[in-house]
Structure 1
């Protein structure tokens, strides 16, 4: 049942829909582009750290053949919204959500139990003593730092498993530093560019648990053409079906 200050969005993927609260945290294009880059096969388990209202987990369910997708979210209201979206999308056989803190959840998620870990992490450094809103918590390293994220990823990811994250370029060096400190070798970088003339301030990175050195920088994904319309690549990401490589 939809509640006050909520809307239901069509994800343009397998008919899936998502509860969102415009006054709180709503997903952005970051989540859409990240989910489009994830590879997962029919015998692989995927963990999303910081799943919010569930958008990335649902898109991965639609765009890959992943055996199981688990999302963990610390904020209870977002977690409860993801549960209602889960019922709406009838994905209980493949997707589940956990309300918990990735820093203290060792007894719930066994070590080395996932083939893929995915995250759209908070990217703003927390300096304020003021109480933060739901939206600010999602964007600020108050409940989960990059160090917390990669420490948990190292424990939960199988040897040879893949890690995917979307990050602002001004925090990319910090993320890579934490990846290597936790034995997750950076393997691929995909820049995201608003248009052909704009600076690149967003990127997606893929890493491999205990991987060998070897790094590929891909050509940028350009979101808009010169007329301000989605490029064919962006249209495929938003409205296409299976991810390439699945």
Structure 2
């Protein structure tokens, strides 16, 4: 019996679709799995960031943000930097699965070593959906892949900001998503690195609920003032229980029979 094709899911993997452009992502069944934050970040970065120029994703995981940027939002080419070899291998297989050869370039490496891995000022846009939780805060997952993806074991927010600063061309922008509770910390790190916050958007589960996440876009060496965008409401009466804006990002529109 011939082996399965390299882009077919293995016995411990799933193949999941997301977005309106047919993006497919290989994920470990018991490992870290993407969530809505990836879609919101890709849309925010495409909306706020440069329309042209090379893109870098820091901590790309299985590639969902990079794939969405390239296929659904027509940004790129994208360099997708991932630390974990097994996750990077799934990312590389996903490039072929999505027909994105030449548009998404998997890079195996540690963002803390950005100065040796990446050319200085080589990217117009940097994006990252980094580990959210500080090391030692809360219960650590016994699964190493999940633990590294959720907790700041291999990098922290300061390292993400430093890597973005190194990679960005003058006037380029970085888009990040973080828990709302870390807003002051992250804005401070960005400003200290002369990555000046330009656009901020708070994410709420429902209209009446407090913010759970924030999306921020900052510009290298350009302090043009901060604009606070309207809040993004995730849940509502739209398809899948989402609000209309999120629903429009998640599923291809249905055509009438």
TM-score, with structure 1 as normaliser:
0.91
Which of 183, 190, 207 matches 1:179? 190
How far did residue 173 of structure 1 move?
A: 1.2
1:169 aligned residue: 180
Alpha carbon RMSD of aligned pairs, Å? 2.1
- 1:198 has 2:209 as partner: yes
For residues 95 and 13 of structure 1, the distance between their equivalents in structure 2, rounded to whole angstroms, comes to 18
* 1:66 aligned partner: 75
1:77 aligns with 2:89: no
Task: State whether residues 34 and 64 of structure 2, in contact with CA within 8 Å, keep that contact through their aligned partners in structure 1.
Answer: yes
CA distance in 1, matches of 2:65, 2:237: 29
Asked if 1:234 is matched to 2:246, the reply is: yes
SS in 2 for 1:148: helix
Q: CA shift at 1:124, angstroms? A: 0.9
In structure 1, the partner of 2:107 is 98
1:116-144 Cα deviation digits (max 9, x unpaired):
00001112111279776211211111101
Residue 11 of structure 1 and its aligned partner are, at CA, apart by 1.8
Cα deviation for residue 90 of structure 1 reads: 1.3
Provide the secondary structure at the position in 2 that maps to 1:142: coil
Deviates more, 1:89-98 or 1:231-240: 231-240
Q: Once the two structures are superposed, what CA deviation does each residue of 1:131-160 show, in whole Å capped at 9, x if it has no partner?
A: 762112111111011111111111110110
* CA deviation vs aligned residue, 1:11-58 (integer Å, no higher than 9, x gap): 233222111112001001111111111235664110000000000000
- Contact 1:13–1:62 at 8 Å: present in 2 too? no
Contact kept? 1:168, 1:202, Cα under 8 Å: yes
Shift of 1:174: 1.2
Tell me how far apart the structure 2 counterparts of residues 232 and 201 of structure 1 sit (CA, whole Å).
Answer: 19
Pair 1:85–1:226, CA change in 2 (3 A): closer
Alignment: residue pair count: 241
Q: Secondary structure at the match of 1:106?
A: helix
Partners of 2:21 and 2:90 lie apart in 1 by 19
Structure 2 length normalisation: TM-score? Answer: 0.87
Q: Which of the numbers 41, 46, 71 marks the counterpart of 2:55?
A: 46
Deviations 1:42-88 (A, max 9, x none): 64110000000000000001233324101101011111111111111
Contact persistence 2:235–2:241 (CA under 8 A): yes
CA distance in 1, matches of 2:218, 2:148: 25
Deviation of 1:240 after TM superposition, in Å, equals: 6.2
